[in-house]
Amino acid sequence: MPLDLDKVRSRFPALSRELNGETVAYLDGPGGTQVPIDVIEAMTTFMERGGSNLGGPFATSVETNELVTDARRAVADLFNSEPSEIVFGQNMSSLTFPMSRALAQTWDDGDNIVVTRLDHDANISPWLVAAAERGVEVRWADFDPTDGRLDMASLEAAVGPSTRLVAVTGASNALGTLVDMRRAADIAHGANALVYVDGVHRTPHSLVDVSRWDVDFYAASAYKFYGPHVGMLYGKAQHLEALPAYKVRAAPSTPPDKWETGTQSFESLAGVTAAVDYLASLGHGDDRRAKLVSAMGEVVAHENSLAERFLARASEMSNVAVYGITDDVSARTPTFAVSVDGSVPQQVARALGEQGIYVWAGHYYAISVMEHLGALDTGGLVRIGFAHYNTAHEVDRVLAALESV
């Protein structure tokens, strides 16, 4: 069944915002989506009822413990993992840095790690820092600048007997490219290396299945899939158990709690559960995972239709260049990096913003992508990102605006 777009949009209060008498078009989703009323109410309800920290014998503390347990179960359903394999933190970046330090303790002289130029810097810089501290080699896997696809031959060539880790993106937050997760994991595991996936951009646009993909780690942020600003990390149970965590002495010594030093944002975790439940409500099935499978099928179908509509007209515009995959929307997310002749990216974003069309400009922390495309020193590119709540009319609006810049 197709998405009931009017019903979907009615659940997002921010989508009713207007500028100059016209509804704002939020095409900045790759930098953070809007949230449904379900998430807002879940967070405010926790704070209105009264919350407490974990470990107390009284009602509010017990309820908070249940809230955290519910959030782990929700994300486990979203990722297709066990709840005990889900760790929460401020965001993907702040979860990846300590995990990079923990993994680095297992590296020796002569080892190497592999990172991909297609990735967001949050899945590059932590590994560069850790590698420098341990004195291990960093190898790079390239992407094809003509279409934005990850060069699997380059990845295979970079991975060898001394490789200990492969850091790869699930989907490019700059170009929208989807990466074959199972193939990347097989390449890494073929050398007895671990694979760490940046799933921030993939999670809102594709069904996640860490079990089928056989990845070792998968990190995401809820504010990219209609939730609050909180991050989550999946790690295989054996890794979370064996690796040393940087924590205070009073923190638990068993996973996943040992990886969550300090007090979590409990109201945000309530919002995480609500965000996953919202996505599940778009589908049908006997349990939450089944509903999520169904829902993401509908989300992908709708977003693919928006992508096709955008590409059909953008490809005919003489003043606009689209970077990345243009011949197969199933191989990408509906996130587009474009340049406009005669205009710097910030000028374009400002001009569109004045028309109530919100898009990003710059490198959006995909520094290696922009370097590889030769766009970093010229201000990066304009990023237009569609989400499941966007409409065909909004696609037409941004295309008309680009044509007139």
Among 371, 342, 369, 345, which Cα is nearest to 359's?
345
- State the pLDDT at residue 382: 98
- pTM for this predicted structure: 0.97
Is residue 323 helix, strand or coil? strand
Mean pLDDT of the chain: 97
3-state SS assignment for residue 244 = coil
Name the band, by pLDDT with cuts 50, 70 and 90, for residue 1. Answer: confident
CA-nearest of 359, 391, 298 to 15 is 391
Domains of the chain by start residue, with CATH: 5-34+294-404 (3.90.1150.10), 42-279 (3.40.640.10)
Tell me the sheet residues that pair with 89.
231
Confidence of residue 405 (pLDDT cuts 50, 70, 90): confident
Structure tokens at 294: 């169904």
- How would residue 268 be classed by pLDDT, with cut points 50, 70 and 90? very high
pLDDT of 24 above 80: yes
Give pLDDT tens digits for 298-319.
999 999 999 999 999 999 999 9
* Residue 130, pLDDT score: 97
Q: Is the model more confident about 382 or about 262?
A: 382
Burial class (CB in 10 A: 0-12, 13-18, 19+), 211: middle
- Over residues 220-256, the pLDDT tens digits come to 999 999 999 999 999 999 999 999 998 899 889 999 9
Q: What is the crossing angle of helices 266-281 and 37-49, to 10°?
A: 150
Q: Calculate what percentage of the chain has a pLDDT beyond 70.
A: 100
- Dump pLDDT digits (tens) for 36-56: 999 999 999 999 999 999 999
